[in-house]
Chain A
Amino acid sequence: MSIDAILEAIYNWPISAAIRTDYFWFPFLESVHVVCICLVVGSIFVVDLRLLGITSNKKPVTELAKEVLPWTWGTFVIAVIAGTLMFMSKTTNYYADDFFRYKMVLIVLAGVNMAVFHLFTYRSVEKWDRDVPTLLGAKLAGGFSLLCWIGVVFCGRWIGFTVI
């Protein structure tokens, strides 16, 4: 099955059609998506800014991560579910949209950045947990993450103007 056939099959599902045509569901999903994205991005910023040594500097990195990131992940899951439902309503249009593609790439890049950070810099976190200024590796990870998620928000907003 080609990707186009899959996208078209999903497009034709009753749930996709319902989201596409109902007056309430699309704005509702979009609202959930936006609120969750805001909480995801804002909470990631809290950690990124600590990695950059800009805010929350009195707190060890591990402590801040422990109190913030569970909420990040929780709201991320909800944002993905709402986003997937919106995608299903117009699969082919989103798939063909440049900004949708940029957004997906940026989310993947943010994930890779996080994985690399955990594989290398974060392994020795107990050595630099309270350091300010922070390690170069922490600064790079925090700064790159910040840029990725700013890009995600811009692309996400642009999708609303380009996907018909």
Chain B
Amino acid sequence: MPVRSASGGPKKRPKNAACRQGTARFDAYDLPRRTSDTGPVLNRFISLLAGTDLSQAIQNYEWIIPTIQSIHILAVSIVLSSVAMVVLRLMGKAGLRTSIADTVKRYVPWIWGAIVVLAITGTLLVIGEPKRELTNAAFQLKMVMVLVGVAIIAAFQISVGRHPEFWNKTPEHRAGLKLIAVGTLVLFIAIAVAGRWIAYMIVDYAAA
């Protein structure tokens, strides 16, 4: 029976594993399974990544992954809160004294900055534990949702830049836009949840 970590991730570093102690929390239960049969190309890519010096370094110091994850979560908090503030403004629930164009100017650059940090820290986490991430259904779903979320923000920012008067006048009165705004916030929450769920989707550690 594979060991499942409480929330941190795979148990695969027995030496000095004070901050990586897995748990058998769910051992008695029938867990959803994923096989490690991921195809020759992906498997070769995973071995390639896992063999790099950087991957080895990330794996060999037990404090590195929690540190990267903490920075990742801080960047998530900037993205989620910024998206929430813009969405609340579009919904007419907060910041009504500020125009939508100004709200976008305040928050969207921070979203992009945080996304850069997320891409860097996320890439490091993938390099450190390529099999844990790349073969993980939650990770794969998360990446698809990230692409959609980034596209929505880019399209929204471009539209507000080109038609500020449209956005300033009309959104509060349009049910369709409100729906898209709420849907975008839900999407970004789902991205965060999928990220957390990566830790619960791993079964095959021995081969990692």
Contact = CB atoms under 8 A, between A and B. Distances in A.
A7 interface: no
Contacts of A37: 73, 77
Contacts of B84: 39, 42-43, 71
Nearest to B72: A157
Contact of B73 (A22, A23, A38, A71): A38
A35 interface: yes
B197 to A, nearest CB: 6
B69 A157 contact: yes
Interface stretch (A24-32, A105-113, A117-125): A24-32
A46 B85 contact: yes
B153 interface: no
The CB with the most chain A CB atoms within 10 A, among B20, B79, B193, is that of B193
Interface stretch (B26-34, B39-47, B125-133): B26-34
A21 B28 contact: yes
B25 interface: yes
A71 B88 contact: yes
A41 B78 CA distance: 8
Contacts, number: 111
Given A31-B196, A161-B66, A164-B6, A23 B29 contact: yes
Q: Chain B binding site: helix, strand, loop or mixed by DSSP?
A: helix
Interface size class of A (residues with CB under 8 A): 35 or more
B106 A41 contact: no
Interface size class of B (residues with CB under 8 A): 35 or more
The CB with the most chain B CB atoms within 10 A, among A30, A38, A161, is that of A161
Interface string A45-66: 1100000000110110001000
Given A31-B197, A154-B70, A162-B19, A67 B94 contact: yes
Contacts of B85: 43, 46, 68
The CB with the most chain B CB atoms within 10 A, among A46, A156, A163, is that of A46
6 shortest interchain CB distances as A-B pairs: A42-B81, A160-B7, A38-B77, A42-B77, A161-B19, A161-B8
